[in-house]
Amino acid sequence: MTKIDFSSFKHQINLTQYAAYLGYEIDRKKSTRNSIAMRKGSKDKIIISKRSGNWIYFSVYDDQDSGTIVDFIKNRTSKSLFEISQELQVWISGNIALPEPTKYVGHVEERQPDPRRIQRLFNYCTPACGHEYLKNRGITAEALKSPRFSGRVFQDRFNNAVFPHFKEKQVCALELKGKNIDLFVGGSEKTLWRSNTRKGDDTLIISETPIDALSYQILHALRSAFYTSTCGGFSPLQSDIIRKLVTDLSWVNKVILITDNDDGGDAITGRLNNIVTSTNYTGSLTRHSPNVRGLDWNDVLRNRLGI
């Protein structure tokens, strides 16, 4: 039997183009020049990028769903590797009706972590103590200055809210939030956003976004809970970081998942449940989402404040 060489498929076939052919749509607000977010309905969201010249992806909702275009097809169909190779050969030969150029991204730059650039940009940031965008989301100056969140939320020279991520105590990623911006700065290596921990803490709360974490604390005024956020859908690397965090924090006896009350929140909750239960953690694990379908905790806060 002739051995199939999949290497050419993995770097020649634009995965955003192939996904668009299958009906996936670009989420431009969540995409950057290095990372393309695409959705198919409300139950499947993928992040596409390039590594070592190959197109790769991971599912926001399923830790087992990641890899190259071959894995992408295998995880969504019952096709054999031989059948997959036949289909991809058609793409290589150009004998297929391609989607319109507006429906995919022709060029994606390979992501290269640039810690020096991130540190340089972070040096220009100042603590966000009365930020207008955050104020409009119900996040008060008092909350930002509190011992739980002081030094964890910043603003840049363009007045965007900045949520830093750290790796080995060094800043490694900057997430920007503003009226017209929602992205990670180029050169970022995404880990997790975290609040401060305090003596006596016994509860870890995991949110989808830092703003949800801040909102939840304002609403519930918990005294012994600290927060971490995945900042949207999370990669396999972030799964490992969450797993290590839960494993290392032996003094935590409660984990609460404050995910959104929607399909995406349901899927992320499932992933987080799997991660936490795969560790030696023996405490309680619960989900606390808003009561109304479609809401997140910032929606609840703004509704309560009439914003």
What CATH number does the domain containing 200 carry? 3.40.1360.10
Question: What is the helix (H) or strand (E) element at residue 228, kind and residue range?
Answer: strand 225-229
Same domain membership, residue 244 and residue 143 = yes
pLDDT at 2: 54
pLDDT at residue 166 is higher than 50: yes
| Cα angle for residues 111, 117, 120 (degrees, 5° grid) | 155
Instruction: Give the total number of structural domains in the chain.
Output: 2
Q: Tell the residue number behind the tokens 């830093």, with chain if given.
A: 164
Q: Taking Cα atoms as reference points, which of 146, 224, 161 lies closest to residue 193? A: 161
Take residue 291 and report the two structure tokens written for it. 């009561």
Strands 66-67 and 126-127: unpaired
For 52-63, what is the mean pLDDT? 89
For 235-252, what is the mean pLDDT? 91
* Contact yes or no for 61/230 (Cβ under 8 A): no
Take residue 160 and report the two structure tokens written for it. 């965007």
Residue 1 confidence class, pLDDT cut points 50, 70, 90: very low
Helix ranges (H only) for the chain are: 7-12, 15-21, 69-74, 81-93, 115-123, 132-136, 141-145, 210-220, 236-248, 263-277, 297-305
Domain end call among 54, 83, 103: 103
For 22-32, what is the mean pLDDT? 90
More confident residue, 135 or 52: 135
pLDDT at residue 291 is higher than 90: yes
More confident residue, 32 or 273: 273
At residue 239, φ and ψ (nearest 5 deg) are -60, -45
Same domain membership, residue 292 and residue 174 = yes
Beta-sheet strand order (sheet of 225-229): 193-194, 225-229, 203-207, 254-257, 284-287
Residues whose CB is less than 8 angstroms from the CB of residue 31 and which lie 6 or more positions away in sequence, other chains included? 37, 105
Domain assignment present for 2: no
Take residue 79 and report the two structure tokens written for it. 């096709």
Residues whose CB is less than 8 angstroms from the CB of residue 97 and which lie 6 or more positions away in sequence, other chains included? none
For 260-277, what is the mean pLDDT? 93
Domain assignment present for 257: yes
Domain assignment present for 1: no
Same domain membership, residue 120 and residue 69 = no
At residue 99, φ and ψ (nearest 5 deg) are -65, 160
Same domain membership, residue 206 and residue 246 = yes
Domain assignment present for 97: yes
For 45-66, what is the mean pLDDT? 90
Range of the domain at 211: 115-305
Euclidean distance between CA atoms 297 and 59, whole angstroms: 24
Domain end call among 67, 83, 103: 103
Domain assignment present for 110: no
For 134-144, what is the mean pLDDT? 96
For 282-292, what is the mean pLDDT? 97
For 11-33, what is the mean pLDDT? 92
Same domain membership, residue 255 and residue 235 = yes
Rounded to two decimals, the pTM is 0.81
Question: What is the helix (H) or strand (E) element at residue 46, kind and residue range?
Answer: strand 44-51
* Contact yes or no for 15/57 (Cβ under 8 A): yes
